[in-house]
């Protein structure tokens, strides 16, 4: 399909229109995070905190937004149960090994920029207790 084609009216045709414009998706392991970072950020009290961020790997959002490139960091299949806690645990271990003093952890989900993961969560309810464990510091 040519990029100057009119935008289709039907939802399935819109999906195909967007997918035809994309390049290939790089392969990603749902058991491995995309990346991690550590930065100083201001807390809600205006104090400085050492914050670790985990860029999670999960299934692509069901929306096909023309301007979105987050799909490049996602998988085709559903995120397996236990994969998100495993990614967080691996990041925490990396920070411990590097002696990073993290006081907070942020999780970024490339599976959804708009919160649409609510309709297809990246983690199952059985993952919630393990994911909630991230509230502890990595010290």
126 vs 6, more confident: 6
pTM of the model: 0.77
Element (H, E) at 84: helix 83-97
Q: Give me Rg for the CA atoms of the chain.
A: 18
Residue 122, pLDDT > 60, answer no
Residue 113, pLDDT > 70, answer no
d(CA 7, CA 17): 8
Neighbours of 49 (CB within 10 A): 14
Q: Are 110 and 87 in contact (CB under 8 A)?
A: no
Q: Which residue has the tokens 């229109």?
A: 17
- Band (pLDDT 50/70/90 cuts) for residue 3 is low
Q: What is the mean pLDDT of residues 49-62?
A: 93
Q: What is the mean pLDDT of residues 49-58?
A: 96
Q: Which range among 6-20, 63-77, 110-124 shows the weakest confidence by mean pLDDT? A: 110-124
Q: Which of 107, 25, 22 is nearest to 67 (CA)?
A: 22
């Amino acid at each position: 399909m040519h990029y100057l084609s009119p935008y289709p009216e039907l939802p399935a045709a819109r999906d195909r229109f967007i997918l035809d414009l994309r390049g290939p998706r790089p392969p990603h392991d749902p058991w491995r995070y995309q990346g991690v970072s550590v930065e100083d950020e201001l807390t809600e009290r205006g104090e400085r905190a050492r914050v670790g961020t985990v860029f999670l790997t999960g299934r692509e959002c069901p929306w096909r937004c023309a301007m979105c490139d987050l799909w490049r960091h996602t998988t085709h299949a559903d995120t397996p149960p236990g994969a998100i806690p495993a990614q967080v645990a691996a990041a925490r271990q990396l920070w411990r090994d590097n002696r990073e003093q993290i006081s907070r952890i942020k999780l970024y989900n490339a599976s959804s920029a708009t919160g649409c993961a609510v309709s297809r969560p990246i983690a199952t309810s059985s993952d919630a207790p393990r994911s909630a464990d991230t509230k502890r510091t990595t010290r």
